[in-house]
Amino acid sequence: MAAEGFVDAETIASAFKQGRKSLAPVQAVLAALYRMGLVSTSDGKSFAFRRAA
C-alpha cells in the first residue's frame, strides 16, 4: 500500500520470506482485489491501489 505507483506481483512476492514460492498466491490475491475494485491495472501485470476521493 505504500507504493507510489504501479507494482507487479514479482515485486510484492520478493518482499516475502519465501520469495518466488509466494508468487502464485500473490497473483491470486491481486486478481481478487481487482475483481472487487480495490486495485486498478492497465496491462494485467502491474497493479495500484485505488485512492478514495
Q: What is the pLDDT of residue 22?
A: 93
Q: What one-character DSSP code corresponds to residue 53?
A: -
pLDDT digit string (tens) for 7-27?
889 988 998 998 889 999 999
Q: Would you kindly state where each structural domain of the chain is located, as residue ranges?
A: 7-49
The whole-angstrom separation of Cα 5 and Cα 17 is 23
Phi, psi of 41 (to 5 degrees): -150, 150
The whole-angstrom separation of Cα 37 and Cα 33 is 6
The whole-angstrom separation of Cα 17 and Cα 33 is 22
pLDDT digit string (tens) for 24-50?
999 999 999 999 999 998 888 889 888
